Chain A
Amino acid sequence: MIGLHHYLYLSAILFFIGAFGVLFRRNLLVILMSIELMLNAVNLSFIAFSRHATGDVDGHVAAFFVMALAAAEAGIGLAILVMLFRNRTTVQADDLTLMRD
């Protein structure tokens, strides 16, 4: 029988795969996609809690809000990326060190 634990374990594994992508990869497109994967992992645990722990639909509403925020984040992130590529012709995070140096 599949219970709450299974979904939470899967959600943790997916979240940390996304975290690895954010920390390790240097391609801004891949970093953005990894953030999407992390948001999805959190969504899965919201819905699993809603089904197995509380029994109401509050978790579904939270997942809906996360999706709306993810859409806004993806739109703004990709617009910044396109702007960056126009000005600097690079999508590598290592090449963008103006604020660091």
Chain B
Amino acid sequence: MQVALFYILATLSVAGGLLMVGQKNPLAGAFSLILSLCSLAGLVAMLHAEFVFILQVLVYAGAIMVLIIFTIMLLNLKKEELQEAPVGWMRLLLTATLCALGAFGAIQVFGEVDPGQVELATGFGNIESVGRSMLSDFVYPFEVISLILLVAVVGVVLLAKKVI
């Protein structure tokens, strides 16, 4: 059951990623990416990470993708503006080979990782345990992240304003 679920979700996420990269229309690409992100959320849930699962659906598949789709619709691109400059076969071949080699190398390296079995504590990955870790061991990175988000919000408002 778990094996079948893993393969279904993995296939969906890879298919969504490939569709996103291959499609000419960015709106269709954004919907393919949502498919990919939702199936990744399912995989995260299979790893007992319920807090990250909630965040993945809420923040990634929800908020960030809504932002991207909203921007695509705001730009209201016409057909000729979506037309990409024709690319040579050489470049396609070169990029594809480079990426395939990279993935192959990564798989070779990961094949040697063998951590053995791990016992999970009760409540592993729920909001309480992640929150405790975040606000005790990782409290300084947490504060830095909040500062970065504040700077990003101010920066985005400044950038998107017509007249400063």
Contacts and interface: CB of A to CB of B under 8 A. Distances in A.
Interface of A: 1-2, 4-10, 12-21, 23-27, 29-30, 32-34, 36-37, 40, 43-44, 47-48, 50-58, 60-61, 63-65, 67-72, 74-76, 78-83, 85-86, 89-92, 94
Contacts of B59: 67, 71
A36 B64 contact: yes
* Binding site secondary structure of chain A: helix
Contact of B40 (A33, A40, A81): A40
The 10 closest A-B pairs by CB, nearest first: A72-B152, A12-B106, A53-B115, A79-B159, A8-B110, A16-B103, A21-B21, A55-B118, A29-B26, A17-B17
Interface of B: 2-3, 6, 10, 13-14, 17-18, 20-21, 26, 29-30, 33, 36-37, 40, 43-44, 46-49, 51-52, 55-56, 59-60, 63-64, 67-68, 71-72, 74-75, 77, 81-82, 84-85, 87, 91-92, 95-96, 98-100, 102-103, 106-107, 110-111, 113, 115, 118-121, 124-125, 129-130, 133-134, 137-138, 141-142, 145, 148-149, 151-153, 155-156, 159-160, 162
A89 B102 CA distance: 35
Given A4-B115, A23-B98, A43-B44, 8 more contacts: A1-B2, A19-B102, A29-B68, A50-B125, A52-B115, A64-B134, A72-B149, A82-B71
B47 A55 contact: no
Nearest to B126: A57
Given A23-B95, A52-B115, A56-B133, A79 B160 contact: yes
A9 B87 contact: no
A10 B47 contact: no
B141 A65 contact: yes
11 contacts: A1-B3, A14-B14, A16-B100, A16-B103, A30-B26, A50-B47, A56-B133, A57-B130, A72-B151, A80-B159, A92-B81
